[in-house]
Amino acid sequence: MSARGRRRKSHDDEPEFHDERWMASYMDMVTVLMCMFIVLFAMSTVDQGKFEKLANSLATGFGAVEVGSIDTAEGVVVPAEMIDDVAEGFIDKTLTDAQQAVAEVASLKATEESINANLSAAGMAERVEFFIDERGLTMGLVGTDSFFAPDSTALSAVAVAVLDAAAPAIVHSALQISVEGHADKHGQSATFATDWELSSGRATQVLRRLVEQGGVDPALIGAVGYGSARPVSQGSSLSEMAQNRRVDIVLLSTLPDSVRDLIPAAVDGTLSQDTSETSTDAGETEDNAPATSGH
């Protein structure tokens, strides 16, 4: 065999290498198909709410929806109860007890004036006595012969007129209310075993009228009977004993004890209102501390 033939044979025996770049495109296609089936599977069990959020998010992200500018000041959501707590704490820290007591007296006097205006319009202003102390505003129905029949808990026409006139202002105050019945030492009764039953029964009738007809929130009101244990007059005459036959409607202050203790002094004008507990200059202390009681 010639040398040329040997060279041709050796050339023909060399292995052939084929171009395999097509496999990259093939793998890309397989990957895309796999992703498509995964998406289809996920969409077959899609949560409608989440899907809508996703669609809106994508639409916004690609500029299909205009969202405009965002007001970050209005975007902060604070629970109402947190706002109340913060506000109350702020007042406690910025106002002295004396200042809070003076403000409370002003608020209670405004409520008294509102009740009195309604009573005057109904011609009943002379039937009620008011006073403000550390408990709050007391509206006294004194001389219960005008409000109740003797030895009875039934409200008279005068009592109904007084309570109906006062109710709107009482409701507007939104304060806790204590209805307190009192009696004189009238001796044994054929209807009531003791003064406790009589006084508590009258207080309950006043409470029911305020709630059922006056619109007072039942959660804000309660009734109690003190019998003849808390007389305002120690005399034995008919007029003095009549002072002890009474029902008090007390609008209770909700301030801390340290503030309420200053209310009597704020009422009679003897309360000091020094607004600072310490001086702005270092080392300087307050000269006059708020008074803690009246005369």
Domain assignment present for residue 289? The answer is no
Q: Count up the domains in the chain and report the number.
A: 1
Q: Is residue 252 part of a domain?
A: yes
Please state the separation of Cα 47 from the chain's center in Å: 39
Query: pTM for the complete prediction?
Result: 0.59
The rounded distance, in Å, linking the Cα atoms of 98 and 206 is: 34
Condensed to tens digits (0 to 9), the pLDDT of residues 221-278 reads: 999 999 888 888 887 777 777 778 889 999 999 999 999 999 999 999 888 766 434 3
pLDDT digits (tens, 9 = 90+) for 44-79: 766 677 777 777 777 776 665 555 555 555 555 555
Residue 32 lies in a domain: no
Q: What is the CATH number of the domain that holds 131?
A: 3.30.1330.60
Q: Is 151 a member of any domain? A: yes
Radius of gyration of the chain (CA): 42
- Cα distances from 84 to residues 89, 106, 137, in angstroms, run 9, 22, 24
Q: Could you tell me the residue range of the domain that residue 143 belongs to? A: 84-268
User: Residue 47 falls within a domain, yes or no?
Assistant: no
Domain membership of residue 207 (yes or no) is yes
Question: What does the alpha-carbon distance between residue 94 and residue 102 come to, in Å, rounded to a whole number?
Answer: 14
* pLDDT score of 39: 82
